[in-house]
Structures are given as structure tokens and as C-alpha cells.
């Protein structure tokens, strides 16, 4: 059976290890902070991505599998401009 002194020593070692690990985690967070984009940058890019599908840039509205064939063709043609005299 483990005595009180031995148990207390193990407890102290665990506390020391915990403190070291917490310091290590903080160090990693600081290192990542300089690499990862800031939240405001991410929010700005989200706004830019939302604007990609604005009505002005995407006049066909939402085209789904249930949309009429002509809407699907118009969407495809708007996304993949190429030679109009060649059909695949």
C-alpha cells in the first residue's frame, strides 16, 4: 500500500508536470498566433466569399437538381465559357 509521503510526492510531481505542460501549451499558442490568421481576417474573407454569389454576379439565382433544364444549361454556359460552335 502506498504511504501518505509517497502519494504526496507523486501528487507534487504531477502538479509540476501539469505546470510545465500548461507553459508549453501557452508557448505553442503564441507561436501559432503569429502564423494563424486573425479572426477579423477570417470574417473579412467570409464576407468576400458571400459576395461571390450576389445576384449581380450570379443572375440565375439558385439552380438545383430540380431546376428546369434551361436554367441548368444557362448556369453551365455562364461558368464554362468556351467555343460556342463545339459541343461535347
Residue by residue, pLDDT tens for the chain (88 residues) are 889 999 999 999 999 999 999 999 999 888 887 766 665 566 666 666 666 555 555 555 688 888 889 888 888 877 776 666 766 5
In a domain, 25, yes or no: yes
Question: Per the structure, how many domains does the chain have?
Answer: 2
CA–CA distance, 13 with 10 (Å, rounded to integer): 5
Provide the residue range defining the domain that includes 75: 39-82
2 lies in the same domain as 32: yes
Question: Are 74 and 54 part of one and the same domain?
Answer: yes
- Same domain for 67 and 47: yes
CB 62 within 8 A of CB 47: no
Residue 74 sits in the same domain as residue 50: yes
The reply to whether 16 and 50 lie within a common domain is no
As a whole number of angstroms, the distance between CA 14 and CA 20 comes to 10
Structural domain contains residue 24:
yes
- Helical H segments across 1-88, by residue range: 4-33, 39-52, 69-79
Q: What is the pLDDT of residue 11?
A: 95
Q: Is 62 found in the same domain as 32?
A: no
Does the residue 87 lie in any domain? Answer: no
Amino acid at each position: 500500500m502506498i504511504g501518505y509521503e509517497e502519494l504526496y510526492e507523486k501528487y507534487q510531481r504531477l502538479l509540476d508536470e501539469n505546470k510545465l505542460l500548461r507553459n508549453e501549451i501557452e508557448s505553442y499558442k503564441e507561436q501559432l498566433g503569429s502564423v494563424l490568421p486573425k479572426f477579423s481576417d477570417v470574417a473579412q474573407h467570409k464576407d468576400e466569399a458571400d459576395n461571390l454569389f450576389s445576384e449581380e454576379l450570379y443572375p440565375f439565382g439558385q439552380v438545383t437538381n430540380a431546376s428546369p433544364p434551361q436554367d441548368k444549361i444557362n448556369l453551365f454556359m455562364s461558368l464554362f465559357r468556351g467555343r460556342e460552335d463545339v459541343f461535347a
